[in-house]
Structure 1
């Protein structure tokens, strides 16, 4: 059974043009043993971030938090209603380091089925359906875990149509990911989003990846330890000049409590409060509008299939 082309939000499927200004990669809830004490668990803090984002003109947020890392899917519909911000949430699996051995062992042999169920039936008892699949590569390589999760993601894509979003470790491994997903596993490039390209500012690799037809997300600005804000205009201009302006996405990727605006960090509003005017000064208002408004809808709107 096939439904109309739409973006799957926590409140139901909507046309791409209804997303509005979109933070294409962020987190309202997230918890990992790799970030002890920095978990995103507070509903009131999530509400405050969304409210602040909306005050800057934000219309949608895509939460990339995958299976087992505290998505709190049951809280998302109410947060969307209360703030007026559309929310897309994810299924998928992160790098192995974020999970205990028992959790991973319990998913062996059924990972693709879990992804498909969360995309079509809902996440646990909440009934909230995921709108994309998030997986992750390693540093300049794809280990056995990455190949396992990406193979399951490809199976789930072929069953449902869902877009696959990929965490690139420090922005590396983009071409290896495309060779696996789009080459070996047959996922159309336009159904792949590569995340964190800003963390490895290799403009040649960026152009090669974009030429495949995939989407490139520049996410996680405001971090001094990443090659982000000051190089981002040049990277985006290179890609736009090469004809890839319709493949670019922007996101905030807030992953720690300290990074939230309510705790004194840049948080979700920073993307629109500081990054948007900075990019507009260099790239022009029209291109930045397309990156924030048009491109996310095309990246996430799919012809949903139900197996």
Structure 2
């Protein structure tokens, strides 16, 4: 078996990902974000083209099951832009779904994840390349325990990486206690998202010491007060020997945040964040974070 990253156009070698936005969204819909949906195919096409023009080569979309992934639209968008796109299965927090929708999934959630990772997502045939789950604010509720248990079961069957939304960047150690200690998921198969939103260097280092990947993403209006601290946090982790575990993403979640709608969008990661990090970390390490690290984080010996 050979490690491959599972994209919407098929499996590719980790080294072929190129410059990677390791956490973003082309499409997303949630009742928590009324009127701000990412649901416009032409806008997604333009955003992906703008990312490509800025030097981007791959995007990992963390939008999970039931949140408007538009999986049938992803292959033509990927092909037209010349950008690899990785699609997610999984579930977000309960607040993003109708209770009846979640009730229908109560039995067989792990089987759903496995099917989307191996057989494909509905009629699109697109196969997911990661499992997205979510924690709460400094806590893991019953929904998080349920979804993470299903994600762990799917991981053990497929090897798929598990990407975790940390609410406001909190709860990293509780997530690792559950996934690694109780559910026996290897730490290097876990990606923790939004760590920049809670700039606690001690927790970030403790998380890194387990061997998991740490994703720093943004910018955003909601988290601007912590976004600007990200370069120093990344440098501290790199100086401590964890540079090979760091990932960068844009996390565009609402329509107004896209560059084509006047926001920073996907290109901002390469236009502004990369030069800022190069000044702090040096070009070689930033290049590794944008290219080599995502290949390792998302590559799997797929069955």
**How does the TM-score come out when normalised to structure 1?**
0.97
1-side partners of 2:192 and 2:285: how far apart?
20
1:24 corresponds to 2:32? no
Q: 2:3 aligns with which of 2, 5, 9?
A: 5
Contact kept, 8 Å, 1:221 with 1:228, in 2: the verdict is no
- Give structure 2 stretches of 5+ with no counterpart: none
Residue 223 of structure 1 deviates from its aligned partner by 3.2
* Contact kept in structure 1, 2:195 and 2:215, CA below 8 Å: yes
Report the secondary structure of 1:242's partner residue.
helix
Deviates more, 1:219-228 or 1:87-96: 219-228
- Is contact 1:220–1:228 with CA below 8 Å preserved after alignment? no
Distance in 2, Cα, partners of 1:142 & 1:226:
25
Q: How many angstroms apart in 2 are the aligned matches of 1:13 and 1:196?
A: 27
- 2:130 — aligned with what? 132
Size of the aligned set, in residue pairs, is 303
The answer to whether residue 131 in structure 2 is matched with residue 145 in structure 1 is no
Q: Is the 8 A contact 2:218 2:227 kept in 1?
A: no
Structure 1 gap ranges (5+): none
| Runs of 4 or more consecutive aligned structure 1 residues displaced over 2 Å after TM superposition | 222-229
Map of 1:209 onto structure 2: 207
In the TM superposition, residue 109 of structure 1 has moved relative to its aligned partner by 1.2
1:101-116 map, 5 Å: 101-116=99-114
Partner of 2:277: 279
The answer as to whether partners of 1:215 and 1:299 remain within 8 angstroms in 2 is: yes
The 2-side partners of 1:285 and 1:236 are apart by 14
* 1:137-196 deviation line (CA, Å, top 9, x unaligned): 000000000000000000000000000000000000000000000110000000000000
- Residues 197-249 of structure 1 show CA distances to partners (whole Å, capped at 9, x for unaligned) of 00000001000000000000001224363444320111001100110000000
Distance 1:101 1:110 in 2: 16
1:122 to 112, 120, 142: 120
Map 1:1-307; keep pairs closer than 5 Å: 3-223=1-221, 225-305=223-303
The 2-side partners of 1:237 and 1:101 are apart by 42
Query: 2:4 & 2:225 partners in 1: Cα distance?
Result: 34
For residues 182 and 227 of structure 1, the distance between their equivalents in structure 2, rounded to whole angstroms, comes to 31
1:267-298 per-position Cα deviation (integer Å, ceiling 9, x unaligned): 10000011000111111101110110110000
TM-score, reference length from structure 2? 0.99
RMSD: 0.8
